[in-house]
Amino acid sequence: MEMETGCPCCGRPVAAPWKLTIQPLRLYREWRPDGQRHAAEHRLCDACSEWLGGLVAIACGEGAGTAVFGSPNGGGRRAVFDDQCQVCREMPADRAARIAWVSPGGATLGVFACAGCEAWIASLAADGRTVRGVADREVDGPYGTWPHPNLRGIRVRLAVEDSAARAVALETCERMAVAVVREQADIAVVEATARGSAARALRTGIQGGRGSVVLAGLRARKDLAAALQAGARCWMTVPLTPQQLTAALVAALRPAGRSGWEPETCLPIADPATMDRPVVLFTPAAGADRFEVAWLLRRFARGYDTVEWLDGRIAVTPRVHADQLPQVAARLRLLLEGRATAEVVGVRALPGRGRFEAAG
Ligand SMILES: [Zn+2]
Ligand SMILES: [Zn+2]
């Protein structure tokens, strides 16, 4: 049963006569409705429908205005093929969605979107309040202001072709007084691609002297996994936010010595004995693409949040006060649209933790 009053996107008690329908698709021999994920429908008021349509148009490179930070970006790539994501122009691997705005009169305007763009659009439709009306840079809030660690004197080399990610990286480095150089540097930022660019870069000497980080789109799992094997310290998703990059640079400078990477999700394997904050634990649904779940959580987590593999589940540790955890869990759960269930788990109840405490 649906609430008849109110628009979920803006939270205002107004009529919501628009519909945003999302039909998940899966590539069998052609794109067909995904048997494992249900179609979803979000109600929108006039203002929200226009706002969200405008954001998508900007992300598509068609609208005028300022993109919300963290929004997808075509990065100058052109739409050539029918099965390119119409928002970010990536070629979806095996999952995508048809998203349609349906006007009160029944007129429909649709886009074909990759899983990342689908999650972004759906999450904004379900609750746009965290993004709406705030300056573009504050999308990373309400986690407080963007912390600038002292990275002065650090030299960064960018092996990144994605023009939007590159622009964010350059601007972020400039704001932190971090030098971007063309030669050997302290930290190398390499981009994973379907062509294996990241692993090749690391193997051919584009290593940071102190550490390397990888930027990865949804289709770049193989190259990402290879780059982690080749010694990269951490990874971020494309599109990138300044906070994520900042956090990654800090992580790259930390001494290595992690307990390794889970190969399917490319997430670091958590050590429950050292976890000292409550976490949101995500259990991927049967049949869900676990890398996609991990990637989406990494994509929408804030920079300093950790996303780790914990005993068959994915543990997100948001850097927020404990009383905000249920909100963060709810938002991330919305983003995953049925790909995983979520629960907030206290430190003592963490999987693998009981043994440890009983022994201590
Ligand atoms: Zn609204
Ligand atoms: Zn996309």
Report how far residue 84's alpha carbon sits from residue 110's, in angstroms, rounded to the nearest whole number: 14
Task: Give residue 186 CA to ligand 2 midpoint distance, Å.
Answer: 32
Read off the pLDDT of each residue in 12-28 and give the average, rounded to a whole number: 91
User: What is the model's pLDDT at position 322?
Assistant: 79
Pick the ligand that lies closest to the CA of residue 7.
1
Provide the 8-state DSSP code for 349: G
Pairing of the two strands 95-102 and 40-44: unpaired
What percent helix, strand, coil does the chain show, rounded to 5? 30, 25, 45
Read off the pLDDT of each residue in 1-11 and give the average, rounded to a whole number: 68
Pick the ligand that lies closest to the CA of residue 83.
2
User: pLDDT tens digits for 331-360?
Assistant: 888 888 889 999 999 888 888 765 544 443
Task: Give residue 164 CA to ligand 1 midpoint distance, Å.
Answer: 29
| Closest listed residue to residue 322, CA positions, set 345, 299, 356, 349 | 345
Pick the ligand that lies closest to the CA of residue 111.
2
pLDDT at 141 exceeding the cut of 60: no
Report domain 267-359's class.
Answer: alpha beta
Confidence of residue 25 (pLDDT cuts 50, 70, 90): very high
pLDDT at 251 exceeding the cut of 80: yes
Pick the ligand that lies closest to the CA of residue 127.
1
User: pLDDT tens digits for 33-84?
Assistant: 998 888 999 999 888 888 888 778 777 766 555 555 456 666 555 655 667 8
**Report for 105-119, 121-135, 216-230, 310-324: range of highest mean pLDDT:** 216-230
Task: Give residue 19 CA to ligand 2 midpoint distance, Å.
Answer: 21
Asked if the bond preceding 142 is cis, omega within 30° of 0, the reply is: yes
Write down the CATH number for the domain with range 155-257.
3.40.50.2300
Task: Give residue 2 CA to ligand 1 midpoint distance, Å.
Answer: 15
Count of CB atoms situated within 10 Å of the CB of 157: 23
Q: Where are the domains of the chain?
A: 18-140, 155-257, 267-359
Instruction: Tell me the residue type at 183.
Output: E
Task: Give residue 91 CA to ligand 2 midpoint distance, Å.
Answer: 8
Pick the ligand that lies closest to the CA of residue 12.
1
Cα distances (angstroms) measured from residue 123 to each of 41, 61, 92: 12, 20, 19
User: What is the model's pLDDT at position 66?
Assistant: 54
Report how far residue 30's alpha carbon sits from residue 35's, in angstroms, rounded to the nearest whole number: 14
User: What is the model's pLDDT at position 321?
Assistant: 78
CA angle at 150 for the pair 146 and 153, rounded to the nearest 5°? 135
Report how far residue 227's alpha carbon sits from residue 189's, in angstroms, rounded to the nearest whole number: 11
Task: Give residue 243 CA to ligand 1 midpoint distance, Å.
Answer: 28
Task: Give residue 88 CA to ligand 2 midpoint distance, Å.
Answer: 4
Task: Give residue 132 CA to ligand 1 midpoint distance, Å.
Answer: 10
Least confident of 3-12, 14-23, 33-42: 3-12
User: pLDDT tens digits for 180-221?
Assistant: 999 999 999 999 998 999 999 999 989 899 999 999 988 899
| Closest listed residue to residue 139, CA positions, set 68, 84, 215, 82 | 68
Please report, for the chain, how many H helices and E strands are present, in that order: 9, 16
Task: Give residue 144 CA to ligand 2 midpoint distance, Å.
Answer: 28
Task: Give residue 49 CA to ligand 1 midpoint distance, Å.
Answer: 7
Report how far residue 182's alpha carbon sits from residue 199's, in angstroms, rounded to the nearest whole number: 18
Read off the pLDDT of each residue in 104-117 and give the average, rounded to a whole number: 88
Read off the pLDDT of each residue in 269-282 and give the average, rounded to a whole number: 90
Task: Give residue 47 CA to ligand 1 midpoint distance, Å.
Answer: 6
Nearby residues for ligand 1 (ion, Cβ within 5 Å): 7, 9-10, 45, 48
Task: Give residue 159 CA to ligand 2 midpoint distance, Å.
Answer: 22
Pick the ligand that lies closest to the CA of residue 17.
1
| Closest listed residue to residue 314, CA positions, set 343, 349, 348 | 343
Pick the ligand that lies closest to the CA of residue 114.
2
Pick the ligand that lies closest to the CA of residue 125.
1
pLDDT at 143 exceeding the cut of 60: no
pLDDT at 268 exceeding the cut of 60: yes
Least confident of 165-179, 264-278, 318-332: 318-332
pLDDT at 88 exceeding the cut of 90: no
pLDDT at 230 exceeding the cut of 90: yes
Task: Give residue 58 CA to ligand 2 midpoint distance, Å.
Answer: 13
Task: Give residue 335 CA to ligand 2 midpoint distance, Å.
Answer: 14
Task: Give residue 12 CA to ligand 1 midpoint distance, Å.
Answer: 6
User: What is the model's pLDDT at position 274?
Assistant: 85
| Closest listed residue to residue 218, CA positions, set 265, 155, 261, 252 | 265
Task: Give residue 336 CA to ligand 2 midpoint distance, Å.
Answer: 15
User: What is the model's pLDDT at position 136?
Assistant: 31
pLDDT at 132 exceeding the cut of 50: no
Q: What is the mean pLDDT of the chain?
A: 82
